[in-house]
């Protein structure tokens, strides 16, 4: 190549480079001006013993987006399975974070959330955490808790026990942090209200023999039984009580909010009461007609309401928000009147950032789950 043609080649190459740079810049500007979808990473148990919860939560989000499609034209939910296991949940969080496109993380369950929150904090991820343990989220800059606290659940249960004039209780519970948090507060409420605890027994999640416990508590004349077990344990407990001809006045937590569990128990499950959020009859009917059951409809109602809030706050964003801006958006939300009742954003020293949802009381009658009180005040 002669010097003359070499110079022409250099000039041509430079011109091409300039054109490509200009096109690249124009494309980048166009991309920046195009609104990107707001992606919500949802980590819930879709398999394992608590899969009914995860299924209900996913159904709630999907119902919200299908009901108000104009609010969700720019919202996308991405689901990952935690199996209600800390290690699996952490892997799911890392997978979502590696996508570099998730704008908000929804973490569910006491144990999985406790495993994920330190990683979320280190990576500065904006989080909505559904955990009853308020200590897990207090002081966290980018975390909002969207769940009833164990303290408020315990207070509502104690209030109902007082209203029913029970003077003594025996408690059996599977060793999981969710129940541990409720029961540490319940003991305090019971003492304050003059209700004695005859016995408190913690068991492994795999335990299936409750005869010894039932025999001892029956002999001690326990008036009410706190039955805080896992799904597979509930039917066995009530069947063994029936076989031993022991009358059970029971109360529990929201794991019992499942038609599957209730129908698998004998009739002595009737009159057992437990806490959950309120659910409007209209939502309950729509949920059952859509999915064929009411398993954990309270959890579905919570995610439905949260989904609607996300649609209202983020669907019309014109730019990518920073983690701080995402959390600040929630702080600006108006009071929300949803299918669980009325809830709002609060910040307190003892509970941190919170979407404060109402605590309701539910009861099993004729093997059906009914609501006693929509909002207990706790």
pLDDT tens per residue, range 202-259? 999 999 999 999 999 999 999 999 999 999 999 999 999 999 999 999 999 999 999 9
pLDDT band at 358 (very low <50, low <70, confident <90, very high): confident
Is pLDDT above 50 for 82? Answer: yes
Same domain, 125 and 84: yes
Residue 316 has pLDDT above 50, yes or no: yes
pLDDT for 14 beyond 70: no
Domain range enclosing 303 = 38-148+279-359
Kindly state whether residues 137 and 159 are assigned to the same domain. no
- Kindly state whether residues 45 and 61 are assigned to the same domain: yes
Residue 8: predicted pLDDT: 47
Per-residue confidence band for 22, with pLDDT thresholds at 50, 70 and 90: very low
pLDDT of residue 23: 40
What mean pLDDT is predicted for residues 349-362?
A: 90
Same domain? 212 vs 311: no
> Is 156 in the same domain as 144?
no
What pLDDT does 70 receive? 82
287 and 264 in a single domain? The answer is: no
> Above 80 in pLDDT, residue 3?
no
Whether 240 maps to a domain, the answer reads: yes
What are 149-178's pLDDT values in tens digits?
999 999 999 999 999 999 999 999 999 999
Q: Is residue 9 part of a domain?
A: no
Residue 83 pLDDT > 90: yes
Does 269 fall in a domain? Answer: yes
Percentage of the residues of the chain whose pLDDT score is greater than 90: 79
pLDDT of 33 over the 60 cut: no
Percent of the chain predicted with pLDDT > 70: 91
Mean pLDDT for the stretch of residues 308-317: 93
pTM attached to this predicted model: 0.87
Look at 369 and 9; give whichever has higher pLDDT.
369
Please check whether residue 259 lies inside any domain of the structure.
yes
Residue 335 belongs to some domain of the structure: yes
3-class DSSP string for the chain:
CCHHHHHHHHHHHHHHHHHHHHHHHHHHHHHHHCCCCEEEEEEECCCCCCHHHHHHHHHHHHHHHHHCHHHCCCEEEEEEECCCCHHHHHHHHHHHHHCCCCCEEEEECHHHHHHHHHHHHHCCCCEEEECCCHHHCCCCCCEEECCCCHHHHHHHHHHHHHHCCCCEEEEEEECCHHHHHHHHHHHHHHHHCCCEEEEEEEECCCCCCCHHHHHHHHHCCCCEEEEECCCCHHHHHHHHHHHCCCCCCEEECHHHCCHHHHHHCCHHHCCCEEEECCCCHHHHHHHHHHHCCCCCHHHHHHHHHHHHHHHHHHCCCCCCCCHHHHHHHHHCCCCEEECCEEEEEEEECCCEEEEECCCEEEEEECCEEEEEECCCCC
Whether residue 184 sits in one domain with residue 140: no
Residue 78 falls inside a structural domain: yes
Are 308 and 249 within one domain? no
* pLDDT for the residue numbered 374: 84
**Sorting pLDDT into bands at 50, 70 and 90, what band is 20?**
very low
Last residue of a domain, one of 275, 293, 308: 275
pLDDT tens string 107-147? 999 999 999 999 999 999 999 999 999 999 999 999 999 98
pLDDT for residue 229? 98
Average the pLDDT over 47-55 and give the result. Answer: 96
* pLDDT greater at residue 343 or residue 58: 58
* Claim to verify: residue 335 and residue 195 sit in the same structural domain: no
Q: Which pLDDT tens digit goes with each residue over 256-288?
A: 999 999 999 999 999 999 999 888 889 999 999
Same domain, 181 and 213: yes
Model pLDDT, residue 21: 45
Question: How many distinct structural domains can be found in the chain?
Answer: 2
- Residue scoring higher pLDDT (20 or 114): 114
Residues 353 and 252 in one domain: no
92 and 140 part of one domain? yes
């Amino acid at each position: 190549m002669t010097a003359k043609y070499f110079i022409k080649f250099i000039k041509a190459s430079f011109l091409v480079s300039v054109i490509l740079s200009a096109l690249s810049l124009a494309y980048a500007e166009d991309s920046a001006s195009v609104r990107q979808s707001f992606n919500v990473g949802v980590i819930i148990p879709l398999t394992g013993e608590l899969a009914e919860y995860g299924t209900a939560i996913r159904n709630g989000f999907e119902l919200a987006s299908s009901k108000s499609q104009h609010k969700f034209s720019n919202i996308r939910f991405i689901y990952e399975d935690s199996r209600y296991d800390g290690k699996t949940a952490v892997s799911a969080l890392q997978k979502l974070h590696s996508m570099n496109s998730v704008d908000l993380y929804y973490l569910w369950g006491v144990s999985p959330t406790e495993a994920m929150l330190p990683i979320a904090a280190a990576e500065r991820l904006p989080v909505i955490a559904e955990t009853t343990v308020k200590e897990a989220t207090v002081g966290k800059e980018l975390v909002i808790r969207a769940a009833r606290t164990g303290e408020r659940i315990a207070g509502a249960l104690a209030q109902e026990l007082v209203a029913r004039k029970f003077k003594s209780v025996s408690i059996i519970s599977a060793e999981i942090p969710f129940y541990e948090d409720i029961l540490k507060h319940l003991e305090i409420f019971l003492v304050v209200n003059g209700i004695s605890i005859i016995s408190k027994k913690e068991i492994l999640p795999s335990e299936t023999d409750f005869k010894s416990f039932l025999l001892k508590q029956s002999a001690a004349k326990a008036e009410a039984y706190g039955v805080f077990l896992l799904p597979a344990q509930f039917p066995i407990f009530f069947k063994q009580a029936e076989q031993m001809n022991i009358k059970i006045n029971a109360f529990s937590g929201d794991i019992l909010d499942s038609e599957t569990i209730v129908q698998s128990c004998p009739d002595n499950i009737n009159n057992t009461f437990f806490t959950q959020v309120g659910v409007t009859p209209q939502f309950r009917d729509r949920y059952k007609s859509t999915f064929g059951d009411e398993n954990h409809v309270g959890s579905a109602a919570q995610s439905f309401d949260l989904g609607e809030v996300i649609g209202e706050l983020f669907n019309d964003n014109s730019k990518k928000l920073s983690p701080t801006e995402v959390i600040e958006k929630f702080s600006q939300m108006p009071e929300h009147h949803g299918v669980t009742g009325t809830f709002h954003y609060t910040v307190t020293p003892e509970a941190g950032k919170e979407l404060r949802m109402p605590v309701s009381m539910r009861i099993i009658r004729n093997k059906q789950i009914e609501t006693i009180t929509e909002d207990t005040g706790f």
